[in-house]
Chains A and B, each alone.
Chain A
Amino acid sequence: KQEVTQIPAALSVPEGENLVLNCSFTDSAIYNLQWFRQDPGKGLTSLLLIQSSQREQTSGRLNASLDKSSGRSTLYIAASQPGDSATYLCAVRRDGGSQGNLIFGKGTKLSVKP
């Protein structure tokens, strides 16, 4: 059974720092991995999608990497800002089986202090 783990559960950093969020999954048979951001009481905003054949994706100050064989992904945030404060979730799409549903980690709650 696929399990997705995100460590740490919470992270507090000063503004301007570069940081890395971690995501690991137990079954390497994934089709893709998606990173989301969730603000308190709100829905999820998609940040990056990495296909299993890709190694990384970049969007602005965000860079996500994927090492499928070791079951790991990282989300790198450069020059963090207070507006980056949110919970970050990673999710993997299983390869085969059900039509595209995702398995989620429990998230990392990020706080960026001014």
Chain B
Amino acid sequence: DVKVTQSSRYLVKRTGEKVFLECVQDMDHENMFWYRQDPGLGLRLIYFSYDVKMKEKGDIPEGYSVSREKKERFSLILESASTNQTSMYLCASSFLSRETSEQYFGPGTRLTVT
């Protein structure tokens, strides 16, 4: 079974803090993704990575950065947290090959910025 884990289920941070969200997958997937999910807006892609040290911006990268130093781990960084970054954050992974590109999701991290 594919397993994608996220470091925290719930997180509360103060405005201006630097926040790290960690994601780990155990299926040797090349692709890893960070989404945020908000009521009425659905899931939106923040960043993704298709290889170690490679990253590409998604639809809403502003205020975020990412790090991928090892194939199994993809970190999302909020450089200076703001209240509009309060959201559910979901990590996903998949193989690079188009034929086997099913995405698998982690349990999510609900982040509240006060």
Contact = CB atoms under 8 A, between A and B. Distances in A.
Interface residues of B, dominant DSSP: strand
Interface size class of B (residues with CB under 8 A): 20 to 34
Contact of A49 (B45, B102, B110): B102
Contact of B105 (A41, A43, A93, A98): A43
From DSSP, what is the main secondary structure of chain A's interface residues?
strand
A101 B90 CA distance: 13
A100 B103 contact: yes
A1 B106 CA distance: 27
Contacts of A32: 98, 101
Given A41-B110, A44-B90, A105-B42, A100 B98 contact: yes
A18 interface: no
A21 interface: no
Interface of A: 31-32, 34, 36, 41-46, 49, 51, 89, 91, 93, 98-102, 104-107
